[in-house]
Amino acid sequence: MSKVSRVDHIAYAVEKGMIEKWAWYHIEVEGGKLTKRVDDVRPDDPDSSMKLWCIDFASFGVVLVEGIDRNKKSQVTAFADCHGDHSVQHIAFDTENLEQFVSHAISKGVNLRGQQLVSNDGFGELKQLFGKGYAKQNAAEMSFPEYVERPKQGASMSTSVPPNTGRNFYQRIEHARNTGDTSTLIDFSLMPSDWAPESKPVAAPGNVSQACAREELAPA
Ligand SMILES: [Fe+2]
């Protein structure tokens, strides 16, 4: 059974001076709606900060982040320098129950970047938790997953986890970057050596297995 249900949002790191242009693209070309605009998430930080704009598409969201460099280069600037303008910094996946998912993930050896948080990210209230980078690379330059849980049917989030001011996660990446922590999301040595995917794909009309089969048959 799938443990993540859908893409909640996609976060793109954009180059300096590009957030307005990409917001125009997502709003005027794709039809999204700006739901949150923060032009400096860390106004008191002498080192660095970022702009953060959220664009809602109802069934998922787009987050644009643009670095603000001061005494130091912002981690977002570093990411865009490394991967290019409008590059995917992270994709967030929705879970039915974040605590249950986290317990399951940890049992498989998944490394998360700190504790889960409660926040309001421009698409509404949520519980969220970030994974470490997919590959062993500078934490500022490596993409990672986020896992979230949204309140069901308008219910408020009943949890004792600490609130996220929008700064905590930025600080966690900064800490990893400053300390040279390049530890990764998953240690594949923990993967069973005899693991193999189930060999019998489910053959429902229009499902992913059939889509994959069609792609395989399509002429190059
Ligand atoms: Fe996110």
Across the chain, mean pLDDT equals 88
User: Which pLDDT band holds residue 159 (cuts at 50, 70, 90)?
Assistant: low
CATH number of 6-190: 3.10.180.10
Q: Specify the pLDDT at position 206.
A: 55
User: Which of 127, 90, 98 is closest to 4 using CA atoms?
Assistant: 98
pLDDT at 185 over 70: yes
Distance 26 CA to ligand 1 centre (A): 17
User: Which of 22, 142, 9 is closest to 78 using CA atoms?
Assistant: 142
Q: Specify the pLDDT at position 217.
A: 58
Compute CA 119 distance to the chain's CA centroid, rounded to the nearest angstrom.
Answer: 14
Backbone angles phi, psi at 63, to 5 degrees: -115, 125
pTM reported for the whole predicted model: 0.87
As a whole number, mean pLDDT of residues 195-215 equals 65
**CB 17, CB 80: distance < 8 Å:** no
Tens digit of pLDDT for each residue in 47-60? Answer: 999 999 999 999 99
Distance 10 CA to ligand 1 centre (A): 7
Distance 200 CA to ligand 1 centre (A): 35
Distance 71 CA to ligand 1 centre (A): 25
Distance 185 CA to ligand 1 centre (A): 16
Distance 187 CA to ligand 1 centre (A): 23
CA distances from 7 to 4, 60, 61, 98, 105 (A): 8, 6, 8, 14, 18
Q: Specify the pLDDT at position 186.
A: 94
pLDDT at 81 over 70: yes
User: Which pLDDT band holds residue 40 (cuts at 50, 70, 90)?
Assistant: very high
